[in-house]
Amino acid sequence: MSQWLSIIGVGEEGLQGLPPVTRQIIGRAELLVGGERHLAMVPNGTAERLTWASPLSQTVEEIKRQRGRNVVVLATGDPMWFGIGVTLARHIPAAEMLIVPSISAFTLAASRLCWPLADVECLTLHGRALALMRPAIAPGARLLLLANDGATPAAVAKLLTELGYGLSRITVLEHMGSPEERHLQGLAEDWTVGKAEDFNTIAVACMAGPDAVAHSRLAGLPDDVFHHDGQLTKREVRAATLAALAPLPGQRLWDVGAGCGSICIEWLRAARCMRAVAIEREAARCRMISDNCVVLGTPMLKIVEGEAPASLTGLKPPDTIFIGGGLSNPKLAVTCWAALKPGGRLVANAVTVEGEAALFAARARWGGDLTRIAISRADAIGPHLGWRPLMPVTQYSVVKPRGAS
């Protein structure tokens, strides 16, 4: 099928800022889709008009039903950088779409500040939790953030101050590329600027104070950053477990028997495109997982409360599975193996004799590797230090053969 769907990026200049050929594409539309602001830029004509519904999926489904007609979607800036083009590309083949971007807000902001864009963390907070920016906050980091609304800059300043980055310089850029362009600047701890325009981009030059919080994205966060009831994969074992899980960009993890969520949270922190599901039967622990997601910047984690393996039904197939609990149920490992994609990886930890026996049985059935992890930490013994051992952990790791069912 020909390219029936065109997605046009529009800047602050409106249609006048578009090349003639792009304006011709808009002029030929049978159906125009966009927000009220974008649709108001287009003179009244014969085209039908459709504004975005809530939830957005309703409009996406309506666009799909228009296949074969000449449909034009108007977007802001670059539709493929946190824009509607990303969403539509999940539903419509690339061969059926024409995407014409304008300059993105990130490119414009970086040029205004003379920041090398390749060295800047670019995030969107539009329709997303503020916690998403937490992993990016670090001494010397530079962030560009698409705001959710005019109140977002103040919320960003408040969070930076709470984390010890009150000396960070914030620049709010409004109406970039238009005669009304305006920049608002100040330090996070002194941010007194009133509500900004709803469409704004926030630049943050992170400056750490003496009490600044900074956590590496590499595996092995300190145990005390997690809210837990003792059901926690300890730091050293957690780092070894994440290494065994071997996260790759875009992969989906099932963390079965998630406890406080330490494994799946660190998995998500490894890269922005990671996906994970935490499966935990205890309601109180599910609440702990949710709290830890906010503090550690992984609000995208999906939490499933329920007993595995029954609670695994209906979940999207995983690329990788970690089993941290429930191995006493003989059906659990078998169910997980069946759900795992060919070429995927399964890792399981056990601290009990019964759990270890289940891992031996799994190795006999599917092959793989067994490792014993024994950690000791220096601890006070009177006025001296001595080695206090943690419970040893038996770890099983196996890759499902490609072509296996």
Cα 392 from Cα 2, distance rounded (Å) = 61
Cα 173 from Cα 199, distance rounded (Å) = 9
Q: What is the DSSP code (8-state) at residue 138?
A: -
Q: Do the strands 200-205 and 252-256 form a parallel or antiparallel pair, or are they unpaired?
A: unpaired
For 273-309, b where at least 16 C-beta lie within 10 A, e where not — what string? Answer: ebbbbbbbbbeebbebbeebbeebbbeebebbeeebb
The interaxial angle of helices 353-366 and 330-339, nearest 10 deg, is 40
Domains and CATH numbers, the chain: 5-102 (3.40.1010.10), 106-205 (3.30.950.10), 223-399 (3.40.50.150)
Per-residue pLDDT, 44: 83
106: amino acid identity, one letter: F
Cα 310 off chain centre by: 27
Cα 357 from Cα 282, distance rounded (Å) = 25
Cα–Cα distances (Å) from 102 to 6, 81, 105, 229, in that order, read 13, 11, 9, 50
For 140-161, b where at least 16 C-beta lie within 10 A, e where not — what string? Answer: ebbbbbbbbbbebbbbbbebbb
| pLDDT tens-place values along the chain, 405 residues long | 589 999 999 998 889 999 999 999 999 999 999 999 999 999 888 899 999 999 999 999 999 999 999 999 999 999 999 999 999 999 999 999 999 999 999 999 999 999 999 999 999 999 999 999 999 999 999 999 999 999 999 999 999 999 999 999 999 999 999 889 999 999 999 998 877 888 899 999 999 999 998 899 999 999 999 999 988 999 999 999 999 999 999 999 999 999 999 999 999 999 989 999 999 999 999 999 999 999 999 999 999 999 999 999 999 999 999 999 899 898 999 999 999 999 999 999 999 999 999 999 999 999 999 999 999 999 999 999 999 999 999 999 999 998 776
Whether the model pTM is above 0.85: yes
Which DSSP string corresponds to 248-266? -TT-EEEEET-TTSHHHHH
For the record, the structure tokens of 110 come out as 């970086």
Q: In the chain, what are the helix, strand and coil shares in percent, each to the nearest 5?
A: 30, 25, 45
Helix (H) or strand (E) run with residue 5 in it: strand 5-10
Q: 382 CB contacts (<8 Å, ≥6 apart)?
A: none
Q: 363 CB contacts (<8 Å, ≥6 apart)?
A: 369, 370, 396, 398
Cα 144 from Cα 120, distance rounded (Å) = 7
For 176-205, b where at least 16 C-beta lie within 10 A, e where not — what string? Answer: bbeeeeeebeebbeebeeeebeebbbbbbb
- Please check whether residue 350 is in contact with residue 359, taking contact to mean a CB–CB distance below 8 angstroms: yes
- Please check whether residue 253 is in contact with residue 275, taking contact to mean a CB–CB distance below 8 angstroms: yes
For the record, the structure tokens of 98 come out as 């024409």
